């Protein structure tokens, strides 16, 4: 298999894009990524998206966006893996280039959620859970995370305020991200006072409904070098799955798929968790942040929350996370999130992260989660010297 | 790249499966395919599906079906390309095995459409069209095909009855297919009298709303040989796209994406259209059959209908199509159709097509269309001697 690198990145601001339908929003990010790579046209396009059918009555996004972006004729498809759809699209692009089917492929993610009433979006999002055992019984994603968070607090003796650091860190890092949905800092007091959504999950534990699109151009590392393009290697790429329904897991507080996919991606990259300079993880809820850190070897079981309390996750900390605001504050347009994570990791590794730049970072990890841990896709990215 | 073969096939009957949710139906076909291949577990699973989010409030089908089929942990994703979702899932499996990422991958397709009211299904299917320019204006898929068919009849001086042969052939071939939804012959008189849906498209020009699932196991041809498995080579595999909205096409009566994808698949296989022994095409509507035959070099422009009038498409004809009943009579559970086509082509190439067996067939072609020609995926399959 061939060595694969990211040579172009593009992203729209995350927010409410009432004026732009899916294909315009999606095309914008793709054209930015191609311009960044100084390339005109990919050979294939994979679009990560979860909700376009339910919320916009639009499927066939691969062909639709390929046409509108000006690539009519190329191979294209939509890839769906709930909130991990973005990283799943990148996996397909990686496979196509690593395997030698294509030399230049675009992986993108796009989601429009804000045009529909919030209750409709909440219902649509339950499609990431088990419809029969969870969705039909009214278990929304906030409710599922509330169950997990309550159990976590009980099991390890934390208070809900002990998770505040995750949200505070994300919002602090979003301040200097021009594409962030909530570019403003929040205080511990604000977190403590935040409106309760599904006890113990408050407004500030949760990511918000959002629109957005992001894209990356991938090619072989050899081609990138030959063309003199600033490249970030995909050193590791791995997907793992778990039971979709929470009650089917032996231990709901352990994200087995996160561990397996991180293990595979790290092994492929030939590095350990201790070599990771920063981690763009899937902080859709503060509890997911804690569980993701624990499953991915950055903290012992029950120790994830402690990283927040000790501020080990800040830009100056031992393992910086959500360096551009994360799902919480950059925003979480679900099918696009996995690509935003990779775009931001690429910015860090290229030294283009502005005020949030991590000094001397060399290896970053991204982790995109679909459902309450049902599918997890981890990428290890490395600066090409 | 490695040479790839199909070594296992599975399919459920097409029909109304009110008693089986998506994951049960999907798992059944997958387990049959694995049993057929004498294998226990794939390394990855790609599920073709279009409507599960809209009609069943269930996404994340990759993880869900992987878990229920007994493969919890493996890589999985749902692939969506409207009615070409099945073949798009096979493309991913092909890429993964050809490229060397995995040795054994399952590509499956599953769709459940009959639990929802027909008007809801019609609305959901418009998601394959351009939502803004077509869907929101009330253009259903039947209506889009009616526009195409009327133009075709006008342009080439046909009567609607001139397309009857396509439906008659499909129904005749379905009689001996135990998995067909409509295993009964129809007469030319029945076609002439058929209830009009959207003039000139009648009930017997159209495929019906259906449930069903199919699956294939793919591996390398070398591994298949080493294990003594009866293999059918994927000699050619290609996807091409076109504008989604019909009005954006220079010539709506020419399926450019069908021609491009057939051209690529044939070139990869090193054969010409004249070498194809049979063609499992996308007869969602009789007009699509005519256009697909023309775009794929089996008939000149405007000459597709003539193949039906001359009966060149029957099992004894020059270019047999829909050998097990096609979308019209085997049935068209949209996201599963592309896999059904490949399962049936494999049956023919293995000599397992029963009463419908084509004598001495060696090379078959399948073609799966998403939207009104917006995405077309063609595979050339070859018996491994």
Instruction: Quick: pLDDT tens for A267-304.
Output: 999 999 999 999 999 999 999 999 999 999 999 999 99
What integer pLDDT is reported at residue A277 of this predicted model? 98
| B130–A375 C-beta distance less than 8 A | no
ipTM entry: 0.98
Give A-chain residues touching B115 at CB under 8 angstroms.
none
Whether A149 and A304 have beta carbons less than 8 Å apart is answered as no
**Three-state SS annotation for chain B:** CCCEEEEEEEECCCECCCCCCHHHHHHHHHHHHHHHCCCCCCCEEEEECCCHHHHHCCCCHHHHHHHHCCCCCCEEEEEEECECHHHHHHHHHHHHHHCCCCCCEEEEEEECCCCCCHHHHHHHHHHHCCCCCCHHHCCCHHHHHHHHHHHHHHHHCCCHHHHHHHHHHHHHHHCCCCCCCCCCCCCHHHHHHCCEEECCEEHHHECCCCEEEEEEEEEEHHHHHHCCCCCEEEEEEEEEECCCCHHHCCCCCCCHHHHHHHHHHHHHHCCCHHHCCEEECCCCEHHHHHHHHHHCCCCCCCCHHHHHHCCCCCCCCCCCECCCCHHHHHCCCHHHHHHHHHHHHHHHHHCCCHHHCCCCCCEEEEEEEECCCCEEEEEEEEECC
pLDDT by residue (tens digit) across B227-258? 999 899 999 999 999 999 999 999 999 999 99
Tell me how close the Cα of B312 comes to any Cα of chain A, in angstroms: 30
Q: How far apart are CA B377 and CA B262, in angstroms?
A: 8
Of B83, B171, B322, B361, which residue is the catalytic one? B83
- Residue A83 bears catalytic tag: yes
Whose tokens are 């077509």? That residue is: B134
Tell me how close the Cα of B338 comes to any Cα of chain A, in angstroms: 14
What integer pLDDT is reported at residue A36 of this predicted model? 98
Residues of chain B with pLDDT under 70: none
Whose tokens are 């599918």? That residue is: A375
Would you call B77 an interface residue with chain A, using a CB distance cutoff of 8 Å? yes
Proportion of chain A in helix, strand, coil states, percent, rounded to 5: 40, 20, 40
The partner residue sitting opposite A64, judged by closest CB among B53, B57, B244, is B244
Tokens of B43: 């390394």
What DSSP character marks residue A355?
G
Strand partners, A245: none
- Reduced to 3 states (helix: H, G, I; strand: E, B; else coil), residue A330 is helix
- A vs B: CB pairs below 8 A: 223
Q: Could you please report the per-residue DSSP string of B341-362?
A: HHHHHHHHHHT--GGGPPTT--
- Reduced to 3 states (helix: H, G, I; strand: E, B; else coil), residue A72 is coil
- Chain B residue with minimal CA distance to A371? B60
| A80–B80 C-beta distance less than 8 A | yes
Tokens of B265: 């698949």
Q: How far apart are CA A110 and CA A22, in angstroms?
A: 7
Percent of chain A with pLDDT over 90: 99
- Neighbour count for residue B123 (Cβ, 10 Å): 17
- Chain A residue with minimal CA distance to B21? A132
Whether B80 and B39 have beta carbons less than 8 Å apart is answered as no
- Residue A385: pLDDT band (50, 70, 90) is confident
What integer pLDDT is reported at residue B362 of this predicted model? 98
- Residue A361 bears catalytic tag: no
Whether B149 and B305 have beta carbons less than 8 Å apart is answered as no
Q: How far apart are CA B49 and CA B52, in angstroms?
A: 7
| All residues at 6 or more sequence positions from B103 whose CB lies less than 8 Å from its CB, including other chains | B43, B97, B219, B220, B223
CA distance readout (Å), B152 to A53, A138, A207:
31, 49, 51
Instruction: Name the average pLDDT for chain B.
Output: 97
Whether B176 and B354 have beta carbons less than 8 Å apart is answered as yes
Tell me how close the Cα of B292 comes to any Cα of chain A, in angstroms: 17
- Residue A22: pLDDT band (50, 70, 90) is very high
pLDDT by residue (tens digit) across A315-359? 999 999 999 999 999 999 999 999 999 999 999 999 999 999 999
Would you call B134 an interface residue with chain A, using a CB distance cutoff of 8 Å? no
| B57–A135 C-beta distance less than 8 A | yes
What integer pLDDT is reported at residue B385 of this predicted model? 78
Of A68, A282, A332, A379, which residue is the catalytic one? A332
H-state helical runs in B180-239: 188-193, 221-226
Would you call A51 an interface residue with chain B, using a CB distance cutoff of 8 Å? yes
Whose tokens are 């350990």? That residue is: A272
Percent of chain A with pLDDT over 70: 100
pLDDT by residue (tens digit) across A131-176? 999 999 999 999 999 999 999 999 999 999 999 999 999 999 999 9
Q: How far apart are CA B344 and CA B325, in angstroms?
A: 10
Q: How far apart are CA A316 and CA A320, in angstroms?
A: 7
Whose tokens are 């997907």? That residue is: A239
- Reduced to 3 states (helix: H, G, I; strand: E, B; else coil), residue B11 is strand
Nearest alpha carbon to residue B374 among B263, B255, B294, B277: B255
Tell me how close the Cα of A175 comes to any Cα of chain B, in angstroms: 33
Strand partners, B20: none
Nearest alpha carbon to residue A298 among A269, A258, A249: A258
Helix, strand counts (H, E) of chain A: 13, 11
- Chain B residue with minimal CA distance to A372? B60
Q: How far apart are CA A63 and CA A126, in angstroms?
A: 26
């Amino acid at each position: 298999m061939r060595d694969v690198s990211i040579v172009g990145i593009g992203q729209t601001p995350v927010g409410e894009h009432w004026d732009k339908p899916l294909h315009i929003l999606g095309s914008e990010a793709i054209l930015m990524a191609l311009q960044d790579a100084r390339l005109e046209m990919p050979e294939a396009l994979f679009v990560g998206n979860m909700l376009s059918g339910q919320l916009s009555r639009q499927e066939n996004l691969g062909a639709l966006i390929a046409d509108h972006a000006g690539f009519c004729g190329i191979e294209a498809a939509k890839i769906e893996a709930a909130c991990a759809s973005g990283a799943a699209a990148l996996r397909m692009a990686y496979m196509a280039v690593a395997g030698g089917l294509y030399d230049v492929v675009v992986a993108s993610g796009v989601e429009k959620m804000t045009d529909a009433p919030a209750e409709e979006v909440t219902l649509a999002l339950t499609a990431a859970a088990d419809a029969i055992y969870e969705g039909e019984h009214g278990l929304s994603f906030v409710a599922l995370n509330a169950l997990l968070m309550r159990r976590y607090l009980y099991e390890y003796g934390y208070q809900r305020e002990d998770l505040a650091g995750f949200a505070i860190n994300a919002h602090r890092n979003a301040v200097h991200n021009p594409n962030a949905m909530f570019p403003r800092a929040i205080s511990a007091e604000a977190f403590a006072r935040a409106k309760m959504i599904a006890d113990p999950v408050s407004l500030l534990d949760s990511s918000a409904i959002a629109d957005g699109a992001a894209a990356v151009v991938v090619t072989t590392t050899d081609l990138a070098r030959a063309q003199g393009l600033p490249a970030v290697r995909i050193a590791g790429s791995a997907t793992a799955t778990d039971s979709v329904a929470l009650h089917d897991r032996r231990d709901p507080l352990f994200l087995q798929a996160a561990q397996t996919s991180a293990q595979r991606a790290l092994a492929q990259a030939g590095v350990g968790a201790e070599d990771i300079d920063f981690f763009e993880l899937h902080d859709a809820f503060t509890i997911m942040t804690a569980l993701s850190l624990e499953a991915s070897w950055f903290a012992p079981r029950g120790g994830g929350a402690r990283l927040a309390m000790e501020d080990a996750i800040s830009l100056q900390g031992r393992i910086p996370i959500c360096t551009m605001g994360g799902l919480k504050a950059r925003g979480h347009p679900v099918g696009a999130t996995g690509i935003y994570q990779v775009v931001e990791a690429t910015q860090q590794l290229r030294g283009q992260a502005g005020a949030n730049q991590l000094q001397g970072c060399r290896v970053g990890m991204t982790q995109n989660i679909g459902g309450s841990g049902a599918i997890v896709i981890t990428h290890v990215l490395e600066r090409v010297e």
